Amino acid sequence: MAEHRGKRLKVGEAATQGDLPGLAFLKQGAEARVYKTTFMGRACIVKERFPKKYRHPQLDAKLTKQRLNQETRQINKCKLVGIPTPNIYHVDVPAGRIYLEFLEGTTLREFIIAKGVAASECMAIMKEIGVMLATIHSKDMVHGDLTTSNLMVREGTSQVVLIDFGLSVNTRNPEDKAVDLYVLERAFASTHPRSEPLFAAIMESYAASGRDQPQAQAVLKKLEEVRARGRKRTMLG
């Protein structure tokens, strides 16, 4: 695999690999590095799951394959139910890479900071997010890492695109879906001061979209339990 994998790169730094020249490093998470490059003449994102040295190589390769396949399936499943997600250009399982459409736009986090939490544009987008989350939960999909950095706003539009399905799972468990919402609520609270009305708009839209769905009501009930446990942990330190 690539020689640069053991090196901590800076944002924008060139990272040359024999089979992928001209990479520009964007960010690194616990599971993968993200680069910008081109694929068949189109700007694209390469998400590369790097080897974990603490795991046996065969187990690591097996887990990487499973997670790549899961991420690909979840993105495609979202598209089938009308949820905007990046287009997939190519999946290279042996290299642990998925090639995705490069989205012109900003993260929701940047959008809110630029517009302000009281902006009407933000409130409209929150309602769209509520419908989006109710839809994926109704199809038994849980994103697993809902933050305002994993929602994009396409440039020149108000369309929200859901990204980064690396931790997504399929589950019917209402508590898993409630945790999905709680993670997003905590992201708003920690990143966007005085943003309570924004998250409230998401929940209002979520509840309205799932009004006739028993599973959505079960999720909202579980969310209260998850919040209570979260408050208890905070008080106990």
Active-site residue numbers?
145
Q: What gap in Å lies between CA 109 and CA 149, rounded to an integer?
A: 6
> Beta partners for 5?
none
Q: What is the CA radius of gyration of the chain?
A: 19
Q: By C-alpha distance, which of 181, 186, 192 is closest to 107? A: 192
Among 183, 164, 168, 184, smallest CA distance to 32 is for 164
